[in-house]
Chain A
């Protein structure tokens, strides 16, 4: 019964607006992910700043990239560690 009411009043699951919204969400993840090299550079610098509080990293070998796949975009960072600090400078 509830299922019936749900279907009448809440056609949402099959409703086209949800398809629209989901498609939009995905396309914007991709659109927004085409960030400028400049932004990636500042992100890198910020990452170095934060991580350096905990470990010594090889700044020159640090790689940060956005990777696109079918239904998501991931931030992939490869951060070679030179050594760990005995105590974190910041907690």
Chain B
């Protein structure tokens, strides 16, 4: 089936089998391997991408054909013009990652969180990332990173916009 998907601001037209999952379409058809696959069953959250900028979705549990006509933002789309997105910079500054396997999903989940809730408190952050598992960090520094990014984005809202 022919689909047209805008990924990180770029439009792609591809012919896909309906059973192709979005995560595999991004990784294998488009070569965007920033989106990781862990559990492959909608549990771990490392495959999360943003759909139409305001919805975090687990791309291992959505078909690529469902993204037809939509805009997808992956971790590769966060950085703009060589400058890390405030969330990426904050994960760096706060040591919000160790092996980095969960990081793309953490970033995209918190990217959508900050769109809906620009100033979440610690409990709200912990709740929002409850569907993203990290085996390394103990979450403490991930929470601090999201707090840092939320403060910075409040001071400079234009930095939040990516894609399109």
**Real complex partners, A and B?**
no
List A residues at the B interface (Cβ < 8 Å): none
